[in-house]
């Protein structure tokens, strides 16, 4: 009997020690705090969504507004606002480099922003429709001028004045004209002219001249010496 009671007691869990009780108490408290925070966060999201729905509704009813810029929000808040805007049938975009500085802008469908306007917001600049229209007009004008220039062909540039007239006070008008006309090289400079090298005699005439020079030389050798 004693052995049976001993085996039953040994199989039962031992009562928790003081340390185990404290650990379990802290775990329960932490779970309760986490649940409370989750409920608070959920309630905050609900309240934030209601507030955004009210602001979007006021924006739609205001005929004088075509766009609205909101204050910077965190990622969750921006997601909620984008969802509210989509349900309302509007257009929304997020701008800003840093996550903490990103904000949302909403637009009415009939006043959806152009690519140029979106690029301006992405650069952190304010959108000015008048400046944008002037820039677009100047761009179209420059494009038309380029097309007209291409149709006319290359432009021939003519000097405003003749260089001879420009420097006539230094070299004189006559010298300038002579220098402008001296374009043919001197054939006789540094060599015998080609025309002087050409022998226009016939072979027979050349042979007769050679014979005459030979006879003259021989006759000079046969003359007696006067000494």
Report yes or no on 10 lying in a domain: no
Instruction: Report yes or no on 227 lying in a domain.
Output: no
For residue 126, report the phi and psi dihedrals to the nearest 5 degrees: -80, 145
User: Residue 52 sits in a domain of what CATH number?
Assistant: 3.30.1370.50
Domain-embedded: residue 78: yes
Domain range for 97? 41-133
Residue 56: inside a domain = yes
Instruction: Report the sign of the C-alpha dihedral through residues 59, 60, 66, 70, in that order.
Output: positive
- Report the DSSP beta bridge partners of residue 10: none
d(CA 187, CA 184): 9
* Contact predicate 90/67, CB 8 Å: no
Distance from C-alpha of 99 to C-alpha of 68, rounded to nearest angstrom: 20
| 121 within some domain | yes
Q: How many domains does the chain have?
A: 1
The answer to whether residue 205 is domain-embedded is no
pTM reported for the whole predicted model:
0.49
Return the SS3 of 67.
strand
How do the pLDDT tens digits run along the chain, 227 residues long? Answer: 556 556 655 666 566 565 678 888 888 888 888 888 889 999 999 999 999 999 999 999 999 999 999 999 999 999 999 999 999 999 999 998 887 889 999 999 888 898 888 988 888 888 877 777 787 788 888 888 888 888 886 656 666 666 556 666 665 555 555 555 554 555 444 555 555 555 566 777 878 888 888 888 877 655 555 44
- In-domain check, residue 155: no
What whole-number distance in Å separates Cα of residue 15 and Cα of residue 17?
A: 6
Residue 60 forms part of a structural domain: yes
Rounded Cα gap, residues 125 and 132, in angstroms: 12
């Amino acid at each position: 009997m004693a052995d049976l009671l001993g085996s039953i007691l040994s199989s039962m869990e031992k009562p928790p020690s003081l340390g185990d009780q404290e650990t379990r108490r802290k775990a329960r408290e932490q779970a309760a705090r986490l649940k409370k925070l989750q409920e608070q966060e959920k309630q905050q999201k609900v309240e934030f969504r209601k507030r955004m729905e009210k602001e979007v509704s006021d924006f739609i009813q205001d005929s004088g507004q075509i766009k609205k810029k909101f204050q910077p929000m965190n990622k969750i808040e921006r997601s909620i606002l984008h969802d509210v805007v989509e349900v309302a049938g509007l257009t929304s975009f997020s701008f800003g480099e840093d996550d903490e500085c990103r904000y949302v802008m909403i637009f009415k469908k009939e006043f959806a922003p152009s690519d140029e306007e979106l690029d301006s917001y992405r650069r952190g600049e304010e959108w000015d429709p008048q400046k944008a229209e002037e820039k677009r007009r100047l761009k179209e004008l420059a494009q038309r001028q380029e097309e007209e220039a291409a149709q006319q062909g290359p432009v021939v540039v003519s000097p405003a004045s003749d260089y001879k007239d420009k420097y006539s006070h230094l070299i004189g008008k006559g010298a300038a004209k002579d220098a402008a006309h001296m374009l043919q090289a001197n054939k006789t400079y540094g060599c015998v002219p080609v025309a002087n090298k050409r022998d226009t005699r016939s072979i027979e005439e050349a042979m007769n001249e050679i014979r005459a020079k030979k006879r003259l030389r021989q006759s000079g050798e046969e003359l007696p010496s006067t000494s």
